[in-house]
């Protein structure tokens, strides 16, 4: 998304660029309960300088992108700050787009094919659980874990407890992915599957791949020093 698009809501900007919360705080812009409002409108209503705010948003976005560009294959060399920013941009960003897309597709597929393919009811239910679990998980990482990872000397006990929780949640997500795989017989399409059906399974497999890499980076690199397993 274009961070300076005039049609962006405040909530969409924060979801894309969590650092925006600092900028909004500075200008007294309510990004929580007022997150559904268009940023452009709020700037006008509160008589703020749009040029200034958009310039700061752009700068924050650029800083984050520059912080890890060119280091993609060097995850172990990255500082915890840079690696967590990378994970947030790449994998959390991916999930925030993919989860609602897949939910919509599965809803259509369930209606059209559920009668002849009863397993789709389980696919729908399991995916719904995975989606809800992951949505809270991403926020937990972004608000509780990433800000103290690497600077956690004083919060060592806290980060260790959080790491335990995070890894347990990864395992739960992994289990759901496994169940989805077995119910769908490795995402095999039935003979009467339509294009939407195919697209839904394709997206589910893509999400599984992305999630595996995502969890690998968190479990085995970012949080490995705090893990008790």
Q: How far is the CB of 85 from Fe ion (least distance, A)?
A: 12
The SS3 assignment for 38 reads: strand
Residue 208 in tokens: 């599984």
Long-range (24+ apart) CB contacts under 8 A made by 119-124 are: 119/183, 119/184, 122/179, 122/183, 123/180, 123/183, 123/184
DSSP 8-state secondary structure symbol assigned to residue 142: I
- CB of residue 94 vs Fe ion: minimum separation in angstroms? 10
Minimum CB–partner distance for residue 142 and Fe ion (Å): 8
Minimal distance in Å, beta carbon 219 to Fe ion?
A: 8
Closest to Fe ion by CB, 40 or 223: 223
Q: Which is nearer to Fe ion, 16 or 124 (CB)?
A: 16
To Fe ion, the closest distance from the beta carbon of 217 in angstroms equals: 8
Would you say 110 and 121 are in contact if contact means Cβ atoms under 8 Å apart?
yes
Binding to Fe ion (CB under 5 A): which residues in 106-165?
Answer: 141
Interface mask toward Fe ion for 185-224; x: CB under 5 A? ---------------------------------x------
Q: Which of 35, 27, 160, 150 is nearest to 84 (CA)?
A: 150
CB-nearer residue toward Fe ion: 102 or 109 = 102
How many residues touch Fe ion (CB under 5 A)? 2
By CB under 5 A, tell whether 89 contacts Fe ion.
Answer: no
How far apart are alpha carbons 19 and 8 in whole angstroms? 16
- Eight-state DSSP code of residue 151: S
The site for Fe ion (CB under 5 A) is made up of 141, 218
């Amino acid at each position: 998304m274009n961070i300076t698009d005039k049609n962006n809501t405040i909530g969409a900007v924060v979801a894309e660029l969590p650092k925006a919360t600092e900028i909004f705080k500075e200008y007294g812009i309510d990004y929580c309960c007022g997150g559904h409002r268009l940023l452009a409108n709020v700037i006008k209503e509160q008589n703020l300088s749009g040029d200034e705010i958009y310039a700061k948003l752009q700068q924050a976005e650029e800083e984050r992108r520059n912080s890890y560009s060119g280091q993609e294959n060097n995850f172990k060399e990255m500082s915890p700050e840079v690696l967590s920013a990378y994970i947030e941009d790449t994998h959390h960003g991916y999930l925030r787009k993919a989860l609602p897309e897949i939910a919509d597709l599965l809803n259509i597929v369930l209606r059209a094919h559920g009668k002849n393919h009863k397993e789709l009811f389980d696919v729908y239910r399991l995916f719904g659980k995975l989606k809800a679990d992951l949505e809270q998980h991403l926020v937990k990482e972004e608000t509780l874990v990433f800000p103290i990872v690497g600077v956690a000397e004083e919060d060592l006990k806290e980060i260790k407890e959080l790491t335990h929780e995070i890894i347990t949640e990864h395992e739960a997500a992994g289990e759901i992915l496994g169940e989805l795989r077995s119910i769908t017989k490795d995402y095999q399409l039935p003979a009467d599957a339509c294009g939407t059906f195919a697209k839904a399974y394709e997206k589910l497999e893509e999400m599984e791949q992305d999630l595996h890499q995502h969890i690998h980076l968190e479990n085995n690199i970012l949080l490995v020093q705090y893990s008790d397993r």
